[in-house]
Every structure is written in C-alpha cells, then in structure tokens.
A and B are shown apart, each in its own frame.
Chain A
Amino acid sequence: MNTHVKKISGEPADLSRRSFLVGTAAAGLALGYSAVPGLLGADQALAAPAKFDPSVWYSIGSDGLVTVTCGKADMGQHIASTMAQIVSEELGSSWKDMRVQLASNDPKFNDPVLGAQITGGSWSTMMNFDAMSRAGAAGRIALTQAAATIMGVPAGELVVRDSTVSHPKSKKSMSFADIVKSGKITKTFTPDELKAIKLKTPDQYTMVGVSVPQLDIPPKSNGTAKYGIDVNLPGMVYGAVVTPPVRFGATVKSVDDSAAKKVPGFIKAVTLDDKTGSTTGWVVAVANTYANAKKAAGALKVAYDGGPNAKLSSESLLEEAKRLQKLDDSGQFFVKDGDTAAAFGTAAKVLEAEYTTSINIHAPLEPMNATAEFKGDILNIYSGNQFATRSGAIAAGAAGIDPKFVVMHQMWLGGGFGRRLDADMMVPAVQAAKAVGKPVKVIYSRENDMTMDYSRPLTFQKVKAGLDGDGKLIALNHDVVSAWPTQRWGIPDFLSPSVDKKGPLDAFTVNGADFFYSVPNHNVRAIKNEMAHNATPSGQLRSVAPGWTFWAVESMIDELAHAAGKDPAEYRISLLDGKGKNDGGAQRLRSTLLAAMGMAGYGTVKLPKGEGMGVACVSSQERATASWTACVAHVAVSPSGEVKVKKLTVATDVGMQVHPDNIRAQVEGAALWGLSLAMYEKATLKDGGIEQTNFDTYTPLRMSQMPEVAVNVIANGEKPTGVGEPAVTVIAPALGNAIFNACGARVRALPITAEAVKASMKA
C-alpha cells in the first residue's frame, strides 16, 4: 500500500498537514516561501477595492465574480472548472459568476491531502472534494452572517442561491457583490471551525452532478487559452535544444559553432551543466527567433561520448529483465499471501506465461517547453507543469539557487499524461537565460520531445498460476520487471515498504497486481531493471503500472478460465467473492463487470465466425483509490491476423459524479488511449537511442481508427473516485481476450500486431 494515499479513505482532509517534504539529488529540500513577492494568488487576482478572500482557494470581487485558484495542473481534465463547481455548490454562487485561475507554486496552494503540488494518479477530485466544499461553505456562512447584520434579520432565516442572499419573509435580498462592497464581512475560520462545518448531503446538491459548461472550453475554441509555449516576455529570446543520439548518459566532448555563427540572429550555444541529472549531453542554441534558433541548432557540430548506455537496445533490456526474473533473490515482495510454493505442489494444473509491453512515449501535442527569466533575486519559470513542488526545486538546481527564490507560473497544459511531472525542459531554459542575460523560451522540437521522453518503461512479467482439480485458482506468482519511474524522483514518501522488509519498492510499477480476486496463495514481486532504469529513465504515463500489470493479470485470468473450461466472465465473478480484505471492492467490481456484459450483450449476442468478445475488469489506479472499471471488447480478426476493433463497451463505478459529461469525456479518452497503446504505439531503443522521432513512426490513434465506444457510468453515492486513467488499463487485456475468442490466438506482447496474431493462430 502506498503511504501517500493512506489518509484519503476516512476522515476529512487534515487542513493543517504540511509534512510532505520534497528532495531531489540536486536541490535538497524545497518548501516554505510564502514571502516571495509577485506570486499569483488571490491578492493579485482582482484589482477591486473591496474583496473577500474566505480561503486561499478563491476570492469574491466587488463585482460579484468568484475567482477560484486551482492548485492542480489542468491538462484537459477540466480540473480547474471542477474545483470551481465544488466551491460553487456550497457557496451558493451562480455558475455564470465563476472564474478560474491557475495557482503559482506558493505552498499555500498545496494539495490538502498530499501536502505538495502534484497532479496525477486520478487523485485530484477525490482528494480536494472535501477541502473545496468546506471553503465554499465557509464563504456562504460568512456572507450570510454579514447579510443578516445588514438586513437586521436572523441569519437562520436567510436563503443563499444564485449569488444572492435573500430573506423570504421580508422579501429583502442582497447580491454577493453588494455584501462584499459593504465591507461588513467579519467572520473568519480556524481549521477546527472549518472541519466542524456541516456540509450538504448529496440529496441537497444542485451543482454537483450537473454537467455545467466547462469554464476553459470557450478560450480553447478561439485560440485565446495560453499554454506554456505561448508565453511572451519583453526582451525574450529563444532556445532550441540539440540532444545526443543516446537517450541518457552521453556527454558533450566539443561544440563547433562556426557554422551556427553565420545564422542571422544567433546569440550563443550553451552546453548544459546539469547537476539535477535531468539531462545528459544537451546543448541549447539561443537566437532572436525560434526559427533562427532551430537553424543554428542544426548548424552546430557537437561531438559526443555516448556513455555507458550507447550500445543498449530494447532487446538487451528485455534480455536483462528475463535474467533478473529467473533469479530467486531478485526484487522485493509487494504481496505475499499464503504459501505459493506449497500450493503449487498440490495443484492439479500449473500454467506459466510471459507478458511484455514496449517502451511508450507520452507525446502530448504541445511539445515540452519552458520560459525562464531572472528578475532581481527571483527566477520566474513559465511552463505548464504537473509537479510544481519538485519542478521548482529542479529549476533552482539548474540555476544554482535556493528553491525559495523560484516562482512557477502555471499555464494551461497542452496535454500532460504524466509527462509534465518532470522538469527537464526547465534546465535548458534556466541555463540559457543565465548565460545570455535575457529571458529565454526553450521549445523542444517534436524530435527532441519523442527521443528524450521519460517514457513508459519496457516491462516483462512472468505469471505462474496453479489450479486445483475443480479449476479453482489456488496459487499465483507474479513477477514484474521494469525500470522504476517513481523511485527516480528521490522522494521517500512516494515509495512503499516491501512485505519481505528488503527496503522500499516503487509501487508505481506493481499497483494493480494487488487485485480484488480472492487467491489464497499470492505473491507479487517488484524487480527493478537497473539497466533499463539507467538507459531509458522512465516516467509516469497515463495510468502508470496498472497499464501493464492488468495486461498480465487479466490476460492470465482468461487463460486460466479457458484451461478450466469455464466462461472467462463467470470465472472472474467467482473469483470476486468479496472475502476478507477484498470485501467491498470485489462486489463493486463484480457489479461493474456485469453492467458492461449486459450493455455489450456478452454471451447473448451470436457472433459470426472470426469475431469475438473479450472481457477484462480492473481496480485501477491503486487499491485504495480504485475506480471499478470493466470492458467488453468486440473484435473481428481476419485470417491474416488483422484485428478490427468493432466496439468497446466500458462500465465504470466512480462513486459520485461531479460532472457527468466530463466523466464520459475522460473515460472515452482514456479508453481510446488504452486502444492506442494496445495496437498503435510502439517505441524501440537501438544503440541507446529511441528510434521513433515524429508522428510518422510513433503513431497514436487517429480518427479513422476509432471504434464505437459505449460508456456506462455507475454512481452509487460513495466518495468520488478518479476517471482520467483507469479506463486506459482495461482495454488491452479485453482486446487480447476478444482476439482469443475470435480466432484462438493468444497474444502476450503489447502492442498487438497482425503478425503476432497470425503466428499464434491455431492452424
């Protein structure tokens, strides 16, 4: 279990918790700089003479506009709008009065549960619902008290609706704007008072559960939304990076800029001295325009020492993974229930299978970029980023200054998917700005962005399962070998203790393997592939570990069902018995699977030859934060092995829907991501470098490849769970299982190719 999510299930968030510390190899600790001037906060948001700031999360201007400051990165999940919606529910404001702005890295905007500014894990709604609700309610209480004083009526007789406080008996009413202008608001709240506020119950909601128009959509439909790449500062110049042919570990031997000097507008070539370890062997060409910087970058002659990884390939990483998996003392245990060795001894049938996934690239459509400006003591960074707390420390490390002097200006993110948890793009911007004494905007070319991605790691998984005489699953060994993306952060809070006490492990490589099936003897071993870790430093790609663990688990469960002569869906239902630690979750997952089966007509629709349906169900993202998600995939497979996906039916239990339309958009996007990863996206390493450089060789799903997608959202009134990622993880195994049912071919490698399907078809 991951320590960072322990708190979320029970009590309201501890509003005073600030125990989260961030450390990086380079920059040490970074926290506590609320005194830095110029931070974008409520104070800077409104010029109105009288305003009311009930909490750090929003302020109300004398014009009645409510501006919510979102501490989360908005990368298309509309989280800023969602935060405004939750505030608005309790505040009683009208939706047309709501505005949003993006927070700086001031720690006062830290996540109330995580104690840092990080956006990922599909955590944002679940971890901020309580705090935003309380902030909204506190504002309503304060406004009501002030209105009661002004009107001379008891506060208890007042009604708050549509940004107006009214007194039905006397027919008096005041708008929020009037109350703010009156200057009569005096009520403040201690953390204990905030905690004691009685919030609405779901039956009283009028905003939560309503698909209000997203606040960020109009500016994203007319080109006015500002992303990091759009930043423009006075006197700014541009940087284009030259990256080595090796993903990681190269060094620059020499730079010849004689040809670059002939490019008009060329200013300087800066070789990075990156003590944060984010980049190796990079040079930035700085020029007066980006086009000239690109030209100059192309004209630079850089000689490299390829370093220790220059000979490595995807094949060598996979071979190393297999070698490590065979060793008895590799890795650490994430799950160790019962005694699998003994159980295998008594098993009637033992199955073994190996599952792999390829390197995958985030490729958000907005290439990585950052703008750095030194102004007095302050380093200003403009960039869309998912992890301001750590990224600020990296920027500081690149500048050689204390992190308290870094101000991060958040922008809209042109896609995140986990890529913008990293801060490598800040290093060239900072060091170039320092070298030329001007603000510098660095933009990666698509080629830089692809070849220098903190990719989803190549993974190798070996699963061994034992069935008793009735076909019941009695033992499962599951080994997961991969690079460790989250360990790379160097933040102990994000690692988890191992069951066998062999030191902390990166649970973001094995989450999902601790599923809700009841298996009496169950081992999960997390094995770090050090070679892959060094050669292809990995990151968190939308859904992270469950994107590969469920590929193995849900494929294997299917293989076991067929071995036992049972229907794969029925087999899952019998394993989801809700016994012991699986009580609650297993039942919800079972119901979700049944919902998907019902919608898809699984087991009732007669399919032509060459077609098949396959099921999968998952508890992504983590055991403690699961959204219960199931998929029925319907495919047609041609004799050549070509797979046509006809329909994906996805059901997901999200507890509570804040914005039903957005949930559908996110689940559909996530499902198509799952399909894209399962069938269309593959990156490979050769001679230490990523071979794919642009969208001609790395090919995410396009419109013509989109199947019909049906989404069914189950909202049973429990706490809201995340929706941005879970559906990614359920697609690949559902497809693999459907392919098996269509043609008898079992594929165990992602992405699925026609050749692999054909090769495994029964003659």
Chain B
Amino acid sequence: MPNLNINGRNMSVEAAGDTPLLWVIREQLQMTGTKFGCGAGLCGACTIHVNGEAVRSCQTPVSEAVGKKITTIEGLSAKSDHPLQKAWILEQVPQCGYCQSGQIMQAASLLSKNSNPTKEEVVAHMDGNLCRCMTYSRIQKAILRAAADMRTASNAGTERRPT
C-alpha cells in the first residue's frame, strides 16, 4: 500500500505500483483538478510537480512517486492566490479551462527557477502543453505578468488589462 506525500499531507493509497499517478490522484484522492488528456505524455493536461519538477502524471507510475513531494493544482497555493493564478484571472486566460491546471503547473515550474523569462523561454517551456481552445497568447501574457509581479515587491495585480 504505497504512501504518498501530496500537497503537504501523507496519504496511503491502494494501487498497484504501475498505476499511473494521475488516476490515483483523481479517483482515490478525489483531487480532480489534474486532468486526463492523452495518457501518452503528449498534451500536458496532467502536469503536476514531483519534488518541484513539472512531470506528466499520466506517465508517472505511483511507485516512482513514493517518498517524494507531490504538488497538484489544489496544493499550488493556499487560497488560489499563486501569482500565476492571479495573473490567469487578470488576463482572463481560460476558455473551456480543461488544460489550464496543467498549464499553470507547467508555468509554475518555470517561474520557480527563472523569474525573468523571455518570451522565447516561455514558449520553449510551454510547448508540450496543448490548449485546444488556443488560448496561447493569453497564457504567455499571464506568465510574463506573473513573473513581473513576483519580481516587484509592490504587487500591481489589481488593475485589469484594458480591452
């Protein structure tokens, strides 16, 4: 019975070691913010952090996650107030929203290492995350905005982008 450390809590789950972590998180732990899109590492909808690195949970067997620190969208911030989540709302990024947990988790792993990415670095880091609604330009803008917010002490996150 594997023990997982997920979003700061220890939880024991009942699953064969080769079960994709994705399904354990979604079904047993009922954290459904992490999504299933392709099951083949091709879309990024299932992106979570394992020891701070963005990984595809559909490609991660539960046995590999044991003893590591797992973070899902539910654990990214205490009050849905990670700078990326705030930027996502200010830039009004999501359309259907289905890809967005994965997009945010993927972006968070970039900003945790590089708080001043260029547009090219953003594109290179995000290219494995599909958005079928094609919200790419807003994703870019929101990442750059969140990066800027993280850099400045005075958080300017309250004003709306003019339309």
Query: Which residues from chain A sit less than 8 Å from chain B, CB to CB?
Result: 75-78, 211, 213-214, 216-227, 229-230, 232, 238, 264, 289-291, 363-367, 412-417, 443, 445-446, 660-662, 664-666, 668-669, 672-673, 676, 694-696, 700-704, 706, 709
Name 8 interchain pairs, CB-CB below 8 A, sorted by A. A76-B97, A221-B85, A364-B96, A365-B35, A415-B96, A665-B138, A701-B134, A702-B127
**CB-based nearest A residue for B20:** A291
Q: Are A367 and B37 in contact (CB under 8 A)?
A: yes
C-alpha gap A622/B98 in the complex (Å): 29
- Beyond the given A220-B100, A225-B97, A703-B126, could you list 11 further A-B residue pairs with CB under 8 A, ordered by the A residue number? A75-B96, A76-B95, A76-B97, A211-B92, A214-B92, A217-B88, A364-B132, A446-B40, A665-B138, A696-B40, A701-B134
- Secondary structure of the A side of the interface? loop
**Interface assignment of B163: CB less than 8 Å from any CB of chain A:** yes
In the A-B complex, the 5 residue pairs with the closest CB atoms? A223-B33, A220-B97, A414-B98, A76-B95, A76-B96
Q: Does B16 contact A (CB under 8 A)?
A: yes
CB-based contact B40/A220 at 8 Å: no
Nearest B residue (CB) for A232: B30
Residue of A nearest to B45 (CB): A365
Q: A706, B130: Cβ atoms under 8 Å? A: no
CA distance A703 to B119 in the complex (A): 11
Write out the residue numbers on chain B whose beta carbons fall within 8 Å of the beta carbon of A662: 92
Residues of A within 8 A of B40 (CB): 446, 694-696
Contacts of A232 in B (CB 8 A): 30, 32
Which residue in chain A gives the minimum CB-CB distance to B38? Answer: A446
Residues of B within 8 A of A (CB): 15-16, 19-20, 23-24, 26-28, 30-40, 42-43, 45, 72-74, 76-77, 80, 85, 88-89, 92-101, 104, 123-124, 126-127, 129-140, 160, 163
Instruction: Knowing A222-B80, A415-B98 are in contact, say whether A694-B136 is a contact too (CB < 8 A).
Output: no
Q: How far is the CA of A222 from the CA of B42 in the complex (A)?
A: 22
**Known interface pairs A665-B92, A673-B134. Does A223 touch B126 (Cβ–Cβ under 8 Å)?**
no
Distance between Cα atoms of A417 and B96 in the complex (Å):
10
Query: Which residues of chain B have C-beta atoms less than 8 A from A668's C-beta?
Result: 134, 137
**Contact across chains for B95 and A290 when beta carbons are under 8 A apart:** no
Closest to B102 in A: A365
In the complex, chain A residues whose CB is within 8 Å of the CB of B134: 668-669, 672-673, 676, 701, 706
Cβ contact within 8 Å between B37 and A665: no
B residues in contact with A75, CB < 8 Å: 96
Q: In the complex, what residues of B have CB within 8 A of residue A227's CB?
A: 35, 98
Which residues of chain A have C-beta atoms less than 8 A from B36's C-beta? 229, 367, 443
B127: contacting residue among A214, A229, A704, CB under 8 A: A704
Q: For residue B126, give the distance in angstroms from its CB to the closest CB of chain A.
A: 5
| Contacts A223-B74, A665-B138 given; does A291 touch B23 at CB 8 Å | yes
Q: Is the pair A213, B132 in contact by a Cβ cutoff of 8 Å?
A: no
- Chain A residues near B88: list those with CB within 8 A: 217, 221
Point out the residues of chain A lying under 8 angstroms from B32, CB to CB.
223, 226, 229-230, 232
Q: With the chains together, A217 CA to B138 CA distance in Å?
A: 13
Whether the Cβ atoms of A694 and B42 lie closer than 8 Å is yes
Most chain B CB neighbours (cut-off 10 Å) among A78, A238, A366, A417: A366
Instruction: Give the docked Cα–Cα distance between A272 and B34 (Å).
Output: 30
Q: Are A366 and B37 in contact (CB under 8 A)?
A: yes
Smallest CB separation, A722 vs chain B (Å): 15
* B92 in contact with A216 (CB, 8 Å): no
Q: Closest CB of chain A to B137's CB: distance in Å?
A: 7
Select which of B72, B92, B97 is within 8 A of A412 by beta carbon. B97
Query: What chain B residues lie within 8 Å of A661 (beta carbons)?
Result: 92, 163
Select which of B20, B92, B96 is within 8 A of A366 by beta carbon.
B96
Chain A neighbourhood of B85, CB < 8 A: 221-222
Q: Looking across the interface, which residue of chain B has its beta carbon closest to that of A289?
A: B27
A717 to chain B, nearest CB (A): 19
By beta carbon, the residue of chain A nearest B98 is A414
Q: Which of A224, A365, A666 has the most CB of B within 10 A?
A: A365
User: Which residues of B lie under 8 Å from residue A666 when comparing CB positions?
Assistant: 95
Contact A290 B27 (CB under 8 A): yes
Name the residue on B nearest A214 (C-beta). B92
B59 to chain A, nearest CB (A): 13
Q: Please determine whether A665 and B20 come into contact, CB atoms closer than 8 angstroms.
A: no
A703 and B19 contacting across the interface, CB-CB below 8 Å: no
Chain B residues within 8 Å of A218, by CB:
80, 89
Q: Which chain A residue shows the least CB distance to B122?
A: A703
* Contact in complex: A669, B23 (CB < 8 Å): no
Q: Report yes or no: A291 in contact with B35, Cβ–Cβ below 8 A.
A: no
